[in-house]
């Protein structure tokens, strides 16, 4: 017996419920393991269990149990045990008996620390995992999400190539390093991101995921991490010691702190919509099938296309998601969350999450994929999909309208987009320019995927042209423009993100795009080797002109608040499209010192044609801040009104400055 509470081992009668909704709800936020030097408390929710025991181990893998004991049944479906004494460092699992059968051992869905491969939980003192100065650590203050510039990266990709100069390649600590350089002395890592000018990093899944064998890290392995195992513990393959649960926690915090010290916020990619293996998941070892959405015949529904989907609309799953997200925000100081296949979750849950996060950190930001991979039993009106974004509060969605309008269809690999000269895409691009909001000059019938505005405010739209999914931007343009020269591909590439970085909404960049990142034609590299996924930092030197261009575009966006207006009303008032009678030439102006911009007027041209064009510039003196060669908020050159040439596949942006009236 390891607990001081007297725990009867008598068999409880199986409890059955007509529906999952009839199961009791547990309100307190104390499920899982609570540690102090005097005692460790175990709590688990399972209204259907007949018996629950905790098994204690000295090791995270292998070996035999040192002892075990039964938990006591409490109210509202909760089982608990208090183990007196200081047991820091010990490993544990739960085992439940349901319907007369003992289920598999599990660390429990609330496990905050786990050993190698996540099979056993670990008792840790979280205070000891805090880096020096952690109590004063804070992310950047965000006035409006439209001021953010998000950069999506994978922990391993950024530092695994020798050219990164990292002492901890592929690890959390690799991302925490400053002062790293390439053999030719170009900045890498955090210093590179500061030089580029982004405001937030979006880290691909770094919770504990299944597909990497952490006991064999000396062997080649790779995965993006969209196969959740333990939602509340960091992934062990990115730690220097995957066997010690405290090590991965401490090193994750050191990574976050390093970003914060350099003025960069940290956004975590989360995957609550499905689990790696429904049958063997910790969820199903606690309350079989409760946490999953089921078809009428009790089989798993599969809107994730991964074999199962979770049921965020059930009370204890909603509670779990809210508490899990809050835990990452509070314990790890995470500044935002990106939800994979957010459309599988219900609107109420997403709103609850956003509300909770705002109470913890007013600068927090929530966004996700506003779609599902396939159909779901969840009614369409309740799904957190693009069409329901107006029902969401402080939650944004990705604009696939803008993405495919700019570069071409994600699924039609040979299909071109606006930047590669495809006609008929201008209205989709214009829709992205106003951040998917209502604007009287948009012809919604001509937008590729949406027939109406789906964002209440520009803060609800993530504009992007590439991410980890599908081809890199460079590879997509090569695939769809087989006869184009390297110079033409580069021009299209620069134009694509010139559009993103000077449109309203929240801009999003894929790691390495600023140096023409390639995955050598591999479309979805989720388990491809490092040779495909790694960032070659020598690309930065080879494509220095492209890097400088992206850096300049970010400087332009930061220098001109008119490109990041926080409200739809402001966009409607200040942004006007100028008819061109040419669907490969978009022209618009932002007048009147919009959003307190120093420029009284900004004139924007995007030429998607593979040929140069002549454009008319109104009278007066204009400063060129973006053209086909450079981007500089201080100006590239001055021109006067009249007819001017805009190069093929390029942007031309001009400003006039007068005192605000």
Q: H-helix or E-strand containing 82?
A: strand 78-84
Q: How far apart are CA 171 and CA 349, in angstroms?
A: 33
Tokens of 169: 């390649």
What DSSP string describes 456-519? SSGGGEEE-S--SSSS-HHHHHHHH-TT--HHHHHHHHHHHHHHHHTSSSEEEEETTGGGT---
Cβ atoms 121, 113 nearer than 8 A: yes
Q: Which of 227, 309, 313, 340 is catalytic?
A: 340
Using CB atoms within 10 Å of the CB of residue 188, give its burial: 0 to 12 exposed, 13 to 18 middle, 19+ buried: buried
HEC string of 483-496 equals CCCHHHHHHHHHHH
Does the active-site annotation cover 104? no
Q: How far apart are CA 145 and CA 424, in angstroms?
A: 30
Inter-CA distances, 241 with 208, 257, 541, Å: 14, 19, 34
Q: How far apart are CA 424 and CA 411, in angstroms?
A: 18
Does the active-site annotation cover 469? no
Sign of dihedral through CA atoms 538, 544, 546, 549?
Answer: positive
Phi first, then psi: what are they for 488, rounded to 5°?
-70, -40
Q: Across the chain, how many H-helices and E-strands are there? A: 15, 25
Cβ atoms 432, 405 nearer than 8 A: yes
Nearest Cα to Cα of residue 448 among 404, 407, 495: 404
Q: Which of 105, 214, 269, 369 is catalytic?
A: 369
Place of tokens 């930061």: 558
Cβ atoms 497, 465 nearer than 8 A: yes
Cβ atoms 40, 80 nearer than 8 A: no
Give the bridge partners for 643, in sequence order.
616
Q: How far apart are CA 599 and CA 356, in angstroms?
A: 38
Phi first, then psi: what are they for 620, rounded to 5°?
115, 180
Cβ atoms 599, 593 nearer than 8 A: yes
Cβ atoms 532, 519 nearer than 8 A: yes
Q: Is 62 helix (H, G, I), strand (E, B) or coil?
A: coil
78-84 vs 39-45, strand pairing mode: antiparallel
Q: 583: how many CB neighbours lie within 10 A of its CB?
A: 17
Q: How far apart are CA 156 and CA 154, in angstroms?
A: 6
Phi first, then psi: what are they for 367, rounded to 5°?
-155, 170
HEC string of 152-194 equals EECHHHHHCCHHHCCCCCCCHHHHHCCCCECCCCCECHHHHHH
Tokens of 100: 């007369």
Q: H-helix or E-strand containing 298?
A: none
Phi first, then psi: what are they for 234, rounded to 5°?
-70, 155
The conformation of residue 217, written as its DSSP 8-state character, comes to T
- Give catalytic residues, as residue numbers: 340, 369
């Amino acid at each position: 017996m390891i607990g001081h509470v007297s725990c009867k081992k008598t068999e409880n009668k199986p409890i059955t419920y007509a529906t999952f909704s009839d199961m009791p709800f547990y309100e307190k936020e104390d499920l899982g393991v609570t540690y102090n030097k005097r005692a460790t408390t175990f709590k688990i929710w399972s209204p259907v269990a007949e018996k629950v025991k905790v098994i204690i181990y000295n090791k995270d893998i292998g070996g035999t149990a040192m002892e075990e004991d039964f938990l006591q049944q409490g109210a509202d479906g909760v089982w608990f045990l208090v183990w007196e004494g200081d047991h820091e460092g010990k490993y544990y699992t739960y085992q439940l008996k349901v319907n007369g059968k003992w289920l598999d051992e599990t660390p429990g869905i609330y496990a905050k620390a786990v050993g190698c491969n996540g099979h056993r939980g670990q008792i840790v003192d979280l205070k000891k995992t805090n880096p020096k100065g952690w109590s004063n650590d804070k992310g950047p203050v965000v006035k409006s999400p439209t001021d953010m510039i998000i950069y999506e990266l994978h922990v391993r990709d950024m530092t695994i190539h020798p050219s990164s100069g990292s002492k901890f390649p592929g690890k959390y600590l690799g991302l925490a390093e400053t002062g790293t350089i390439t053999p030719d002395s170009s900045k890498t890592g955090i210093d590179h991101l500061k030089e580029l000018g982004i405001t937030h990093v979006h880290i691909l899944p770094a919770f504990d995921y299944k597909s990497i064998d952490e006991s064999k890290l000396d062997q080649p392995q790779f995965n993006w991490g969209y196969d959740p195992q333990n939602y509340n513990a960091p992934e062990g393959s990115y730690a220097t010691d995957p066997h010690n649960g405290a090590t991965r926690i401490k090193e994750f915090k050191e990574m976050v702190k390093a970003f914060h010290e350099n003025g960069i916020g940290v956004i975590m990619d989360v995957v609550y919509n499905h689990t790696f293996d429904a049958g063997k998941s910790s969820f199903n070892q606690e309350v079989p099938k409760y946490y999953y959405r089921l078809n009428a015949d009790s089989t798993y529904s599969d809107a994730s296309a991964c074999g199962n989907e979770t049921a965020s609309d059930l009370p204890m799953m909603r509670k779990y998601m809210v508490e899990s997200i809050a835990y990452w925000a509070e314990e790890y100081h995470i500044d935002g969350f990106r939800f994979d296949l957010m459309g599988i979750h219900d609107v109420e849950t997403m709103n609850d999450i956003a509300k909770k996060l705002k109470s913890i950190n007013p600068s927090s930001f929530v966004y996700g994929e506003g779609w599902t991979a396939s159909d779901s039993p969840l009614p369409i009106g309740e799904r957190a999909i693009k069409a329901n974004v107006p029902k969401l509060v402080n939650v944004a969605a990705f604009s696939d309208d803008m993405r495919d309008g700019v570069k071409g269809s994600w699924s039609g690999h040979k299909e071109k987009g606006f930047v590669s000269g495809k006609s008929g895409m201008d209205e989709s691009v214009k829709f992205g320019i106003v951040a998917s909001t209502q604007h009287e000059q948009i012809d919604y019938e001509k937008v590729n995927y949406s027939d109406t505005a789906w964002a209440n405010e520009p803060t609800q739209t993530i504009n992007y042209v590439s991410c980890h999914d599908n081809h890199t931007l460079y590879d997509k343009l090569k695939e769809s423009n087989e006869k184009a020269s390297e110079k033409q591909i580069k021009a299209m590439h620069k134009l694509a993100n010139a559009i993103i970085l000077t449109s309203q909404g929240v801009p999003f960049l894929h790691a390495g795009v600023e140096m023409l990142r390639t995955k050598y034609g591999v479309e979805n590299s989720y388990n491809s080797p490092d040779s495909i996924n790694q960032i070659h930092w020598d690309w930065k030197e080879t494509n220095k002109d492209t890097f400088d261009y992206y850096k300049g575009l970010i400087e332009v966006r930061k220098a001109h608040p008119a490109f990041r207006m926080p409200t739809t009303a402001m966009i409607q008032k200040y942004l006007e499209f100028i008819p061109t009678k040419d669907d490969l030439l978009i022209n618009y102006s932002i007048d009147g010192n919009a959003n307190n911009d120093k420029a009284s007027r900004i004139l924007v041209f995007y030429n998607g044609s593979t040929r140069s064009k002549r454009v008319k510039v109104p009278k007066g003196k204009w400063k060129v801040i973006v053209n086909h060669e450079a981007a500089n908020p201080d100006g590239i050159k001055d021109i006067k009104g009249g007819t001017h040439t805009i190069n093929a596949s390029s942007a031309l942006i001009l400003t006039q400055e007068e005192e605000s009236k």
